[in-house]
Chains A and B, each alone.
Chain A
Amino acid sequence: MDNGGLCALLDPMQPAPFLQIQDIVKDFDGHRAVDHVSIDIAKGEVFALLGSSGCGKTTLLRMLAGFETPTSGTITLDGHDLAGLPPYERPLNMMFQSYALFPHLTVWDNIAFGLRRARMPADEMRQRVEAMLKLVQLTAFAKRKPHQLSGGQQQRVALARSLAKKPQLLLLDEPLGALDKKLREETQIELAHIIEDVGVTCVMVTHDQEEAMTMASRIAVMSEGRLLQVGAPGEIYETPANRFVADFIGNVNLMDGRLVEDEPGHVVVECADCRHYIGHGITGTLGMPVTVALRPEKIRVGRAAPVTVEGVPDAAFNRARGTVSEMSYFGSFTVYHLALPSGAVLKVSQSNTERERGGQLTWGDEAWASWSTLSPVVLTS
């Protein structure tokens, strides 16, 4: 059901999506890099293609840009089929991972490059370049050459250059990949603001979940050329469609079990170390094998046996007992590994909300873990 399509199918009066990727396949010498991918993207959206290297996201981006030709399938931008159009005739622009600034040109000339190719009149061009420089706050650096700029400055020039022609679509290839951690956080926010201000539709490619989740309004998780799930960041994180997505995004505990109860308002899943009472229904048959995904931050852990958890009918559900086998202190939070009777390990993440907590857990302690009915998610694939 969830193939990235918007509700256009249900409402024939709604206009076609701004960018339509329809059933794209790309084969390289017998190896299938992109496997029947279809995505609809609305105007003004910031859309992220997320996946590890080799999953096909960069190939897909390059097909949008025109550097690769799809083996089959179509790409339509604002109603126009992009097939056969070379990169220099497409109304879109790309910001490259290595920035690809022309080293022999100044910042000013780099930004003006695309405008010159479009034969823009000199006055208009000057105004546009100056506007771009102002947008990225590099007006003072206009006469410098790329090697005279820092990494962050170079990135801003690359952004200004790709926005100069007011493209209908902006493609970003691992925009923050080349920056170090501190710079990345600052740049993320700046970048997001600029894109929002300009209002351009944006497709970005990244392997960094944080990047995707903070910058994009919708994310497509890809693996081995296939689309696994498309949705808003919260959707993907809290309701992953399958094991792969659940495991790929953030940290998760995956517990295999059997479906023993299936009612419209709740389900019960029997796992090796615990019974889950989960507050949403699914379509399934009793007895079928399912996986329960439970995020570490949603589990409470402590020495005392938990009091009745809200919504749970009795103390038999949504709790487990184990021994602390690992403890990692991260400053703002601590991660505990709880060894359960069956041998499985439950990862629990707890915020350190107070500076000194009496009775804090340590290695070898017996502890109880508990969670609410809305914390776990049932996965059928």
Chain B
Amino acid sequence: MSTRARRGGQNLTRWFGRGWLGAGYLFLYIPIVALVLYSFNDSSVPNVWQGFTVKWYRALASDRELLDGLWLSLKIAFVTATSSVVLGTLAAFALVKYRRFGGRTLFAGMVAAPLVMPEVIIGLSLLLMLVSVQRALGFPERGMVTIWLGHLLLGMAYATVVVQARLQTLNAQLEEAAMDLGARPWEVFHLVTLPMIAQALLSAWLLTFTLSLDDVVLSAFLSGPGATTMPLVIFSRARLGLNPSVNAVATLIVLAVSIGVVVASWLIARQERQRALDIAAAARPT
């Protein structure tokens, strides 16, 4: 192939790539943009623009149902995230550190399954089991605790994946070096291993927090009277049709998430850049 033809082909590929990426991002973001725009629509007829307003946002302040749901969701999400990270870290350690133990394949399968299992299956089966337990022992009542259990099941699977990926890249000699220098196993964990996986633990926490905050199906199966999470409120409204109050909530959530993700990405990128500079500086002969 001649150089010119090859270069032409490369150019074509580059523009095709840019086009595809552009179209893809457009596809991903248009719904979000539309959502935000129509939250300022002064009309209850959907999709018909009738002027700019912030009345839907003002209405949110007195929307008891939604605010109660939000508070409950935040509480559950917080507990879920923390417990998911704890259980997930244990499971990740078991999978990465202990090469061989009886039933390892079954264990790995059980840990990973909630990642893909349809939530209706998880929700239904967990609920039925909890109902049987409740009939026998008198607790737990359907409500915040049962929702938390369902979210924890899902969250643990995600946390395990994140922590496990980080553990696998850790240099095993670091922990050996710590032991060689006199650190007992527990000291090795909290002085060496923990600081090094801290970032992974944080991202696992944030991931499971978001998952829990956003969950519909598990919450629906496992909730009880008075325990309506925010997604359930939104879902019931969305089922009935288009509702600008939902747009307003959505915009606020999008705003919060965007700020969080952008700031986090920027911080990480800056840390990486500084690190690269340091390494390059050290390599230069002094």
Determine, out of B90-98, B110-118, B173-181, the stretch whose residues face the partner at the interface: B173-181
Interchain CB contact under 8 A, A88 and B174 = no
Min CB–CB distance B198 → chain A (angstroms): 9
Min CB–CB distance A66 → chain B (angstroms): 8
Q: Mark A334-347, 1 if CB is under 8 A from B, else 0.
A: 00000000000000
Contacts of A87 in B (CB 8 A): 176, 179-180
Determine, out of B50-58, B215-223, B278-286, the stretch whose residues face the partner at the interface: B278-286
Contacts of B171 in A (CB 8 A): 98, 100
Interchain CB contact under 8 A, A96 and B176 = yes
Question: B192 on the interface (CB 8 Å rule)?
Answer: yes
Interchain CB contact under 8 A, B196 and A104 = yes
Contacts of B183 in A (CB 8 A): 88, 113, 117
Q: Mark A141-161, 1 if CB is under 8 A from B, else 0.
A: 000010111100100000001
**Nearest-CB residue, chain B, relative to A93:** B180
Interchain CB contact under 8 A, B181 and A93 = yes
Interchain CB contact under 8 A, A148 and B279 = yes
Min CB–CB distance B171 → chain A (angstroms): 6
Interchain CB contact under 8 A, A100 and B173 = yes
Interchain CB contact under 8 A, B179 and A88 = yes
Interchain CB contact under 8 A, B192 and A117 = no
Q: Mark B139-182, 1 if CB is under 8 A from A, else 0.
A: 00000000000000000000000000000000101101111111
Interchain CB contact under 8 A, A100 and B174 = yes
Kindly name the residue among B171, B178, B181, B281 whose own CB sees the greatest number of chain A CB atoms within 10 A. Answer: B181
CA distance A145 to B279 in the complex (A): 10
Interchain CB contact under 8 A, B283 and A104 = no
CA distance A96 to B181 in the complex (A): 12
Question: A329 on the interface (CB 8 Å rule)?
Answer: no
Interchain CB contact under 8 A, B180 and A147 = no
Contacts of B180 in A (CB 8 A): 65-66, 87-88, 93-94, 162
Question: A118 on the interface (CB 8 Å rule)?
Answer: yes
Interchain CB contact under 8 A, B275 and A165 = no
CA distance A102 to B180 in the complex (A): 13
Interchain CB contact under 8 A, A150 and B187 = no
Question: A67 on the interface (CB 8 Å rule)?
Answer: yes
Question: A250 on the interface (CB 8 Å rule)?
Answer: no
CA distance A155 to B282 in the complex (A): 13
Question: B184 on the interface (CB 8 Å rule)?
Answer: yes
Question: B260 on the interface (CB 8 Å rule)?
Answer: no
**Nearest-CB residue, chain B, relative to A113:** B181
Interchain CB contact under 8 A, B179 and A150 = no
Min CB–CB distance A129 → chain B (angstroms): 13
Min CB–CB distance B270 → chain A (angstroms): 15
Interchain CB contact under 8 A, B275 and A147 = yes
- Interface bracket on B: 20 to 34
**Nearest-CB residue, chain B, relative to A151:** B283
Contact (A67, B176) CB under 8 Å given A104-B195, A147-B278: yes
Q: Mark A82-98, 1 if CB is under 8 A from B, else 0.
A: 00001111000110111
Question: A289 on the interface (CB 8 Å rule)?
Answer: no
Contacts of A54 in B (CB 8 A): none
Interchain CB contact under 8 A, B278 and A148 = yes
Contact (A98, B173) CB under 8 Å given A148-B278, A149-B282: yes
Min CB–CB distance B191 → chain A (angstroms): 8
Interchain CB contact under 8 A, A153 and B282 = yes
Min CB–CB distance A99 → chain B (angstroms): 8
CA distance A117 to B190 in the complex (A): 13
Question: A103 on the interface (CB 8 Å rule)?
Answer: yes
Of A102, A149, A161, the residue contacting B174 (CB under 8 A) is: A102
**Nearest-CB residue, chain A, relative to B283:** A150
CA distance A94 to B178 in the complex (A): 10
CA distance A145 to B192 in the complex (A): 15
Question: A114 on the interface (CB 8 Å rule)?
Answer: yes
**Nearest-CB residue, chain A, relative to B194:** A104
Of A88, A103, A149, the residue contacting B184 (CB under 8 A) is: A88
Min CB–CB distance A171 → chain B (angstroms): 8
Min CB–CB distance A15 → chain B (angstroms): 27
Contact (A88, B173) CB under 8 Å given A148-B278, A148-B281: no
Interchain CB contact under 8 A, B182 and A88 = yes
Contact (A147, B279) CB under 8 Å given A88-B184, A100-B171, A117-B182: yes
CA distance A103 to B198 in the complex (A): 13
**Nearest-CB residue, chain B, relative to A96:** B173
Enumerate B184-233 residues with CB–CB distance to A below 8 Å.
Answer: 184, 187, 191-192, 195-196
**Nearest-CB residue, chain A, relative to B281:** A148
Enumerate A219-278 residues with CB–CB distance to B below 8 Å.
Answer: none
CA distance A103 to B271 in the complex (A): 14
Interchain CB contact under 8 A, A147 and B177 = no
Interchain CB contact under 8 A, B275 and A113 = no
CA distance A96 to B282 in the complex (A): 21
Kindly name the residue among B183, B187, B281, B282 whose own CB sees the greatest number of chain A CB atoms within 10 A. Answer: B282
15 A-B interface contacts by CB (under 8 A): A67-B179, A89-B182, A96-B176, A98-B173, A100-B174, A102-B174, A102-B192, A103-B196, A104-B196, A114-B181, A117-B181, A117-B183, A145-B278, A162-B180, A165-B182
- B residues whose Cβ falls under 8 Å from a Cβ of A: 171, 173-174, 176-184, 187, 191-192, 195-196, 275, 278-279, 281-283
- A residues whose Cβ falls under 8 Å from a Cβ of B: 65-67, 86-89, 93-94, 96-98, 100, 102-104, 113-114, 117-118, 145, 147-150, 153, 161-162, 165
Given A102-B178, A153-B282, 7 more A-B residue pairs with CB atoms under 8 Å apart are A65-B176, A65-B180, A67-B179, A88-B179, A148-B282, A161-B181, A165-B182
